[in-house]
Amino acid sequence: MSLVEADGARFIIDSGILFPYEDFFDLNYLIPDMSDLGKIDRIIITHGHEDHIGAIAHFRDNYPDVPIHTPKFAALLMAKKLREAGHAQKFEIYKDLDEIKLTDSLSVFPVRVDHSIPDTHGLLICDKKSDTALIYASDFKVDNIKSPSLTAAAKRFSTFTHRVALFDSTNMTSGQDKTLSEDELYEDLKTVIEESSGRVFLTAFASNVDRIQTVNKICSELRRPMVMIGRSMKFYTQTAAEEGYLKEYSKIHYDWGEVLPDQKNLVCLVSGCQGDFKSATRRIITDEDSSLILNETDTFIFSSKTIPGNEKKLSLLENKLSNRGVRVIKPGKYKIHASGHACKEDLKLMYQLFKPTHVIPIHGESTFLDAHIEFAKGLLKDINCYRLLNFRGFEIEKNGEVHIFQLDQLDPILIHGKGIEIERSALSERRKMACNGVIFVSLNLKSQKYFIDMRGLPKKMTDRKEQLENLVKVHLNGKKFRGTEDLRVNIRRFCQEHLGYKPVTLVQEV
C-alpha cells in the first residue's frame, strides 16, 4: 500500500496483505494500520495478487465510499472478498492507458505490463503543475519492450522535466540476467509430462493463469485429462475461464468425480506450491487426502520459486515424495518456472526506454534495493538515486529536488479467523501456551474441592500430579486462604523446580 499526494489530491495505490514468515499460531495475515491515513480521494489497484488486493475489505471498513479504480480481473477477485465481508462490489474498471483524472493538473495512466497474473499494470502519474512524472511498476517483467503500452507511456513520460522511476527490485540479486517468458516453458513442461508414465501432479501459484494455460494446451496435445485440486486453484482457473482470460484447449475438470483418481494419464494442478499447512499440496504429500494416495509411478512437479523462509518445509515435503519413490521435478535442469519479476536485463530495457532523471527502487529486501541503485548508476549518467525503506516517504520539490523523510512507524495489524483482528498480547499468550503448556486449577473454597487439568506438558509432570495436588491442599487447608495469585506463583515455582520452565498457569475460584 502506497500513499501519493499531489496538487491537493491524496490517493492510495493497492491494498495488500503480508503473510507471516511461518505457520504462526493460526495467524492468517497482516495488513497495514490504516487508522492514521486521513482523507483519501480514491484507490487505484495495479493487479490481483494478494499482496496488492488482500486487504481491500479492510480498506472498505475504513473507507466505505472511496472509488476503487481497478483492472477487470482484479475486480473479479476483489468482488468475492468484498461480498464475503458484506461490502458493495462497486468498481471503476479501467483499461490500458485510460486517464484517471484527479485534478486539473494531476492524472494517472495505467500502463499494461507483463507479470504472472492477467491484467497487470504499472502507473504513470503525471503532475503538470510541478512538471513531474512518476512511472510506478512494482510487479513486472518485460516480454516485449516495444509493446504499444510501454511505448506510449515512455513518450508521455519524456515530456516532463522531472522523471522519477519506481521499479521492481525483487530479482536484483538473481543469477539470471533475463526473466523467462511463459512461452519459453512450453517445451520443457511438455517433455516432463510426456515422459511421465503415471499421474502428474504440478503445483504452481494458483494466480498464474498463463502457466495454467500452458499446461492445459499440453494436456490437449497429449490427450491427458487435466484436473484442478485445491480451492484457490479452482477459483482462479474458473474465474479466468469464465471471463475469457483463459483459452481452454481441452476440458478442465474441477472435481475428482469427473475422473478416475487412479487413472495413470491424469495431470493434476495443485494449489499450495509453498507447502502451506492447510494447502492441497501438503495434504496430498502427507496422505491427509484419503481419496488420493501417491505411488512410485507418479511425478510431482514444483513449477514455482521457493519464497524465502519456506525452504525447510518444502524440503521436508520433497523428502517425503522421494521416500515414496515419486519422481520430483524442480526448476533447474528443466525450464518449468518463469518469474513474474524483472531481472537486470528487463530493468535495463525499461531504463533505456523511459530515461528517468531520478531512480527510487521499490519492492524488495534492503539488499535488493542497494543492488538496484548500483545497477542504475552503472546504466545512466548523472542519475539521482534514493534508497526508500519501510516507514519512509519521499517528497519531490518543484525544482526536482527529492527529500527522504521518516514516517511514524505503525505496526501492521494481525488478522486471524474470519478476518478478525487479534491483539499482540493474545498472540503472545498463544506462544507461551504452545511452548510451555498450560495448567488449569479450579477451586471451590466452600467445599474445599479442586480440579486440576494439565495440557501440553511432559509425562514427567503428569506423573507428579499427586505432588501438585498436595500443594493445592496445603494452600486450601491453611489457616488463612492467601488468594489465587499466591497459589499460581507456587505452582509455577514447583514446575520450574521439576521442569526447568514455567507453564502458563490459570487459577480460578468457582
Span 91-128, pLDDT tens digits: 999 999 999 999 999 999 999 999 999 999 999 999 99
What lies within 8 Å, CB to CB, of 176 at 6+ separation is 339, 343
Q: Which CATH number covers residue 115?
A: 3.60.15.10
- Residues 74, 196, single domain; the answer is no
Tell whether 450 is covered by a domain: yes
Q: What is the pLDDT of residue 23?
A: 62
Does 415 score more than 80 pLDDT?
yes
pLDDT digits (tens, 9 = 90+) for 208-224: 999 999 999 999 999 99
Tell whether 10 is covered by a domain: yes
Write out the DSSP string of 308-356.
Answer: TT-HHHHHHHHHHHHHTT-EEE-BTTB-----SS--HHHHHHHHHHH--
C-alpha cell at 510: 468457582
Report the share of the chain in percent with pLDDT over 90: 79
- Residues 156, 12, single domain; the answer is yes
Beta strand extents in 188-237 (DSSP E only)? 200-203, 226-229
User: What's the CA gap between 180 and 182, in Å, rounded?
Assistant: 7
- Residues 263, 216, single domain; the answer is yes
Query: What integer best gives the mean pLDDT of the chain?
Result: 93
Q: What is the pLDDT of residue 122?
A: 98
Tell whether 52 is covered by a domain: yes
Which residue shows C-alpha cell 534508497?
387
Does 257 score more than 90 pLDDT?
no
Does 389 score more than 90 pLDDT?
no
- Residues 8, 119, single domain; the answer is yes
Tell whether 421 is covered by a domain: no
Which of 387, 416, 445 lies at the terminal end of a domain, its last residue? 416
For the residues 290-307, what does the mean pLDDT come to? 92
pLDDT digits (tens, 9 = 90+) for 319-335: 999 999 999 999 999 99
What lies within 8 Å, CB to CB, of 448 at 6+ separation is 476, 477
Which of 329, 350, 366 lies at the terminal end of a domain, its last residue? 329
For the residues 418-441, what does the mean pLDDT come to? 91
Does 186 score more than 80 pLDDT?
yes
- Residues 405, 483, single domain; the answer is no
Q: What is the pLDDT of residue 479?
A: 61
User: What's the CA gap between 305 and 419, in Å, rounded?
Assistant: 28
- Residues 290, 252, single domain; the answer is yes
User: What's the CA gap between 326 and 268, in Å, rounded?
Assistant: 15
- Residues 435, 503, single domain; the answer is yes
SS3 106: strand
Which residue shows C-alpha cell 489457616?
479
Does 342 score more than 80 pLDDT?
yes
Q: Which CATH number covers residue 284?
A: 3.40.50.10710
Radius of gyration of the chain (CA): 28
Q: What is the pLDDT of residue 480?
A: 63
Tell whether 221 is covered by a domain: yes
- Residues 236, 222, single domain; the answer is yes
- Residues 398, 494, single domain; the answer is no
- CA-nearest of 139, 60, 153 to 108 is 153
pLDDT digits (tens, 9 = 90+) for 434-484: 899 999 999 988 888 899 999 999 998 888 889 999 998 888 887 666 788
Q: What is the pLDDT of residue 408?
A: 86
Report the share of the chain in percent with pLDDT over 70: 99
C-beta of residue 302 within 8 angstroms of C-beta of residue 330: yes
Give the structural domain span for 502.
427-509
What lies within 8 Å, CB to CB, of 356 at 6+ separation is 135, 157, 163, 164, 165, 380, 383
Tell whether 422 is covered by a domain: no
Q: What is the pLDDT of residue 22?
A: 65
- Residues 441, 299, single domain; the answer is no
Q: Which CATH number covers residue 437?
A: 3.10.20.580
Q: What is the pLDDT of residue 461?
A: 86
Number of domains in the chain: 3
Tell whether 110 is covered by a domain: yes
pTM: 0.91
What lies within 8 Å, CB to CB, of 143 at 6+ separation is 114, 181
- Residues 172, 31, single domain; the answer is yes
Tell whether 242 is covered by a domain: yes
Helices 366-379 and 344-354 sit at what angle, rounded to 10 degrees? 50
Helices 465-476 and 484-499 sit at what angle, rounded to 10 degrees? 150
pLDDT digits (tens, 9 = 90+) for 143-182: 999 999 999 999 999 999 999 999 999 999 998 999 999 9
Which of 380, 396, 416 lies at the terminal end of a domain, its last residue? 416
- Residues 249, 161, single domain; the answer is no
More confident residue, 291 or 77: 77
Q: What is the pLDDT of residue 418?
A: 84
For the residues 406-431, what does the mean pLDDT come to? 89
